[in-house]
A and B are shown apart, each in its own frame.
Chain A
Amino acid sequence: MKRFRAFFNIEKEEHWLNGQLQEGYRCTGISGLGIYTFEKTDKNFVMRLDYQEHLSKEKLGEYKGMYEDFGWDYIDGSTFSGIRYWQKESADQDVIFSDRQSQGSYYKRLMNYSLWLGMLSLFYALMLYKDSTLYHEGLWSMEGSLFWKAFLFETPFVLLKLLPALMAVLLGISYYQAYRKYSMLKV
């Protein structure tokens, strides 16, 4: 079974994935373009998402080795995003973080991730809107049905143009959500 989904929030992604697994599936692959592949199983699997970027080859080996010793299987995700997907058969311990400190530093990493990607989207959006208006200037002087036809024709392109701004907003929201959880753990 293949599913297509796009997420801007790692915890929502994790939640959605576990929802699929609870229906009797296990995940067999994730492509960077948002295509998730599942296969039927009669066992119970759980998935946990970690965020680790800039791992050297050696560090990645150590990182994977540690999780694998604990029974987690690495599912290749997109190599550039830094999200690490772990899956295992459900057992006594289904978490990857067992204390507040490590859970807190996980949220800290998520904050950095959203902040960095959000800034990038914002920067891209500003570049895009700097020297062009959303709709053609001429559109506003058109009249009647001609205006509506042109307006409807241009709208999909405008929505496409707004995508980076929308991404910046969504990433801003996930930054705030990670920050809330981080600060709750610290106090």
Chain B
Amino acid sequence: MKHPLLPLSETMHYILLALREPLHGYAVMQKIEEMSHGSVILAAGTLYGAIENLSKHGWIEPVGKSGRRKIYGITAEGLEVLKVEQKRLLHILSLYEGSEPDEEV
């Protein structure tokens, strides 16, 4: 069976991409706002739940502390997930471009 978090939701996708650089929770939200040109602004409960969920599956992990805030970073497993997702999305993009994708193969 497919992993419950796959394919990645927009929220999860952005968080994994943002955490290729270690950040604390609130900074993740700010970075995602910037990365998405203001179109994805995560709310507190959504970010809290997503971080819990991604940690539970071992795709991100705490890598340190800044004051009382935990700093998270993506794990090797998380990077692997991003690779698989990238492949999936590239394929979908290729379908957008060729009108008859069968001919190209």
Contact = CB atoms under 8 A, between A and B. Distances in A.
A66 B25 contact: yes
Contacts of A62: 48, 70
Contacts of B68: 61, 65
A101 B11 contact: yes
Nearest to A61: B68
Contacts of A48: 45
Contacts of A93: 41, 43
Contacts of A98: 11, 41-43, 46
DSSP majority for the B interface?
helix
B69 A96 contact: no
B68 to A, nearest CB: 6
Interface bin, chain A: 20 to 34
Contact of B45 (A61, A69, A102): A102
Interface string A81-114: 0000010000001011111011001100000000
A63 B47 CA distance: 10
Nearest to B50: A102
Contact of A96 (B9, B44, B70): B44
Interface string A48-70: 10100000000001110111011
B45 A99 contact: no
Given A61-B68, A93-B41, A98-B42, A66 B11 contact: no
Interface in B29-55: 29, 41-51
B26 A66 contact: yes
B104 interface: no
Contacts of B51: 66
B48 A67 contact: yes
B88 to A, nearest CB: 18
A106 B26 CA distance: 21
Nearest to A94: B43
B34 to A, nearest CB: 16
Contacts of A25: none
Given A99-B10, A101-B9, A101-B11, A69 B44 contact: yes
B45 A96 contact: yes
Contact of B46 (A69, A72, A86, A102): A102
A99 B9 contact: yes
Contacts of B41: 93, 98
Q: Ordered nearest first, which 7 A-B pairs have the shortest CB separation?
A: A96-B45, A69-B26, A98-B43, A70-B44, A102-B46, A67-B44, A66-B48
Interface of A: 48, 50, 61-63, 65-67, 69-70, 72, 86, 93, 95-99, 101-102, 105-106
